Structure 1
Amino acid sequence: MESSVNQRWIIHYTFLYFTFISATLYLLQTLISPQLILGHQPITLKTNPPLPLRFSSLGAFKILQVADMHFGNGAVTRCRDVLPSEFDACSDLNTTRFLRRLIDAERPDFVAFTGDNIFGTSAADAAESLFKAFSPVMESRLPWAAVLGNHDQKSTMTREELMTFISLMDYSLSQINPPEDPSDPAIGRLLGDIDGFGNYNLSVNGAAGSHLANSSVLNLFFLDSGDRATVGELQTYGWIKESQLRWLRGLSQGFLSPPTETPALAFFHIPVPEVRQLYLKEIVGQFQQPVSCSMVNSGVLQSLVSMGDVKAVFVGHDHTNDFCGNLGGIWFCYGGGCGYHGYGRAGWPRRARIIVAELGKGERAWMAVERIRTWKRLDDEKLSKIDEQVLWDLHRPQ
């Protein structure tokens, strides 16, 4: 009897011992090489870009704006609005090739994605589509950031989950929302105090070796313009809320306190209602479709004008508009549709926008930002460069 009891205890402790060893080995493997399967994609520890963002030794900081990729599922996702001769061989991979061509040709310092990065209703798995959509910029090891449009969340992730996921991708500088800053509640507010997901600021420092090497000389504001909303019984597009504008105004006031103004650029998806006025004004580019904005005017333009530091705003949403026009001294520019699964016009090449901020040259070193220029690249045989213009010049205010 005693022998039988002892045998059972031996078996019991042997089982516990091997269970403990297995669990320990699993934990060690997880800590040494943490990996999670999300969708069909393995996720490892995030690779961050070198920080801070800064101007090059040539005194320039180049941004590639990519609007409305509308990425679906890759090779099986067909193109829209292309010539009949192009249709059979056209898929999401055309969008990927175009993005790679842009990166190779322009060698940007930073890439800004302004929403509708994936086309939710066509994306079987949001995580997998995001990986495929952003793969060219991650492979290039360039720093990048994104905001959401009105189609991204129509797959398997909410807007908060999308921004969280995007913020964890390689070389991404995207943020869900600004963190709390107890030292300055006017600038850093609690996450829950700001509407939307994807409201944040990125600072770009001066050129290495200059007296501004450790100072921000250009600010990049990112805002969540929402997706769809109901006003009364009417459906409309989303808009930037007062909580977001309050945060942005506080942020801007903090940057304007030094004697030298730091210029800023803003990026969001849905244009503001005043952009419709540009149909009757001088523009650079093409105004080919009605402006799809919210019926609610939340005072975004007035806030940006009153702030004084925002020199240009870059939006997406209306794929066949690619113009820049001036409202109250601020240029509002469309990126033009980049993605082949998004609507467009047959025979009208997909396109993307380049923005370059240039430093002034002092006697011995680079100074503050002196000029901001822009142009577009077309996805044609020559990657044609069109509509080059100056958006802001320190010595020739608008």
Structure 2
Amino acid sequence: MTLKFNNGKFRILMIADTQEGAKVNSDTIKLIEASLDRSQPDLVIYSGDQIWGKHSFKGDANKVKEVLSILVEPVVKRKIPFAICFGNHDRQVGLTNEEQFEIYKTFEGFVGESDDGVDGVGNHCFEIKDGDEVKFLLYTIDSHSNLKVGYDCVHENQIDWYRAIRDSYEQKLGKVVPSVVIQHIPVCEVFDLLKKVNFTKRGSVRGFRTHEGEYFVLKKDRVNKEAFMKESPADPQVNSGEFDAMCEKGDVKGIYFGHDHNNSFNGEINGVDVGYTQGAGFNVYGPGMDRGTRVIDLFTDGHIETYDMRYKDIVGRKVDNPLKYIIMQLCPTNTFDAVTRIVKAFVTIAVILVIILLLTMFLK
């Protein structure tokens, strides 16, 4: 299928982290439906962690297909082409990403491809044309999964794959082609949009793993006005040089990712717009009514524009499953967060017990 500009613009809707189990939450579908109707995109990208839960799926291919079909049905029935990236949770259902990709290929409108000879699944470069002329390229990249500690990075042969494609278009057309990248896990350079602060700073988030013991807030002068960050970026353990490679020739105009559900912001780093898309799923932790999706507009003159759409603005403030919503709002964002909360709870209890003991002794 040929992807083409319409009156000088091509619109992508990015849906991140639906992360649904065996029973899809209707509020997730309402958000997707409203996002599609509001944005009228030319292409939809599900950017990873569409599903999760080994106990929910137990490797049952029929169940996986059933849930995926529910998640993509709003797109399919509107006859909008779509593609996917994989995240760190998809494979945990008991089917490999390769097996899941074959399932996606059975859905009407799926235009994703997976290039051979490069690590991961779903790595592909899409041409977006104005007439017969290639005006933009879209790269979907597999950012891989969990390591024993932390997260993997985009691999060296994927970076070489990107460079080869970029350079082949430059050689053929005599110029680099403006491009945009969508993947699941962020690039390490996203921390350039953050300011390190004291832990007492209001609104600060605590870093972990590669940023253990550090606290951060957004640099408000570097990000979009409506930006929010409610958890620390969970970047790769190793910086593989992906971002530096994509800055070499000025072709990449934007890099967008999900992964950390409670973050939605974007800002320029070395001439590239770098940004988070918040989680869309209601069966997993998320930023409350700020769960949402991202619109990425590409223009034939080579520039891009982007903004997010939030549940509270395009659906409303009521949910079909209020109890589940409350539970998900109380859930920790990760294991580190869970341990931190437990430690804080024990410290609080200990302090209360000491105060009670001292009062008891004093009042005797």
2:311 to 363, 379, 382: 379
Q: Write out aligned runs for 1:1-398 (5 A).
A: 51-56=1-6, 58-74=7-23, 92-121=25-54, 123-124=56-57, 125-175=63-113, 177-178=114-115, 191=116, 193-206=117-130, 213-230=131-148, 235-257=149-171, 258-280=173-195, 281=219, 282-284=222-224, 285-346=227-288, 348-359=289-300, 369-380=301-312, 382=314
Q: List alignment gaps of at least 5 residues for structure 1.
A: 1-50, 76-91, 179-190, 207-212, 360-368, 385-398
CA contact (8 A) 1:126 1:156 kept: no
Whole-angstrom CA distance in 2 between matches of 1:102 and 1:301: 29
Q: Return closer, same or farther for 1:147/1:123 CA change in 2, 3 Å cut-off.
A: farther
Q: Please say if residues 4 and 10 of structure 2, whose CA atoms lie closer than 8 Å, have aligned partners that are also in contact.
A: yes
Aligned residues: 283
Q: CA deviation at 1:292?
A: 0.5
Are the equivalent residues in 1 in contact too, given 2:229–2:262 (CA < 8 A)? yes
* Residue type at the aligned position of 1:376: D
1:287 CA displacement:
2.1
Q: What is the CA–CA distance in structure 2 between the aligned matches of 1:217 and 1:197, rounded to whole Å? A: 25
Larger-Rg structure: 1
Q: For residue 370 of structure 1, report the CA deviation from its aligned partner.
A: 4.1
Displacement of 1:371: 2.8
**CA deviation digits over 1:6-50, x for unaligned, max 9?**
xxxxxxxxxxxxxxxxxxxxxxxxxxxxxxxxxxxxxxxxxxxxx
Q: Displacement, 1:381? A: 5.1
Aligned residue for 1:313, secondary structure, equals strand
Q: What per-residue deviation string (whole Å, max 9, x for no partner) do you get for residues 117-141 of structure 1?
A: 1123364232222111111111111
**Contact in 1 for aligned 2:31/2:315 (Cα 8 Å):** no
Letter in 1 for 2:232: P
Match of 1:6 in 2: none
Q: 1:243, CA displacement in angstroms?
A: 0.7
Hey, what's the Cα distance between the residues in 1 that align with 2:239 and 2:306?
A: 27
Identity %: 28
Residues 123 and 129 in structure 1, CA contact (< 8 A), matched pair in contact too: no
Q: Give me the whole-angstrom Cα distance separating, in 2, the residues matched to 1:297 and 1:260.
A: 28
Is the CA contact 1:195–1:241 (under 8 Å) kept in the aligned structure 2?
yes
Residues 185-220 of structure 1, C-alpha deviation per residue, up to 9 Å, x if partnerless?
A: xxxxxx2x31111111111110xxxxxx11211100
| Distance in structure 2 (CA, Å) of the matches to 1:271 and 1:312 | 12
**What is the CA-CA distance between 1:244 and the residue it aligns to?**
0.5
TM-score (normalised: structure 2): 0.74
List per-residue Cα deviations over 1:349-389 (Å, max 9, x = no partner): 21111011123xxxxxxxxx3431111111125459xxxxx
Q: Return the alpha-carbon distance in structure 2 between the equivalents of residues 345 and 265 of structure 1.
A: 26
Contact 1:71 1:123 in 2 (8 A): no
Question: For the Cα contact (< 8 Å) 1:253–1:307, is it kept in 2?
Answer: no
Distance, in Å, in 1 between the alignment partners of 2:287 and 2:314 is 19
Structure 1 residues 63-88: Cα deviation after superposition (integer angstroms, max 9, x where no partner):
1010001122235xxxxxxxxxxxxx
Q: Distance in 2 between matches of 1:353 and 1:243?
A: 29
Q: Distance between the aligned counterparts of 2:94 and 2:152, measured in 1?
A: 20
2:209 corresponds to = none
In 2, Cα distance between equivalents of 1:123 and 1:113: 21
**Whole-Å Cα distance in 2 between the matches of residues 373 and 253 of structure 1?**
25
SS at 1:154 equivalent: helix
Distance apart, 1:260 and its partner CA: 4.2
Q: TM-score, normalization: structure 1? A: 0.68
Contact 2:166-2:177 within 8 A present in 1 as well: no
Secondary structure of the 1:296 match is coil
For residue 345 of structure 1, report the CA deviation from its aligned partner: 3.3
- How far does residue 312 in structure 1 lie from its aligned partner after superposition? 0.1
CA distance in 2: counterparts of 1:66 and 1:382, whole angstroms: 15
Letter in 2 for 1:129: V
Q: Per residue, is there more helix in 1 or in 2?
A: 2
Higher relative contact order by CA 8 Å / sep ≥ 6: 1 or 2?
Answer: 2
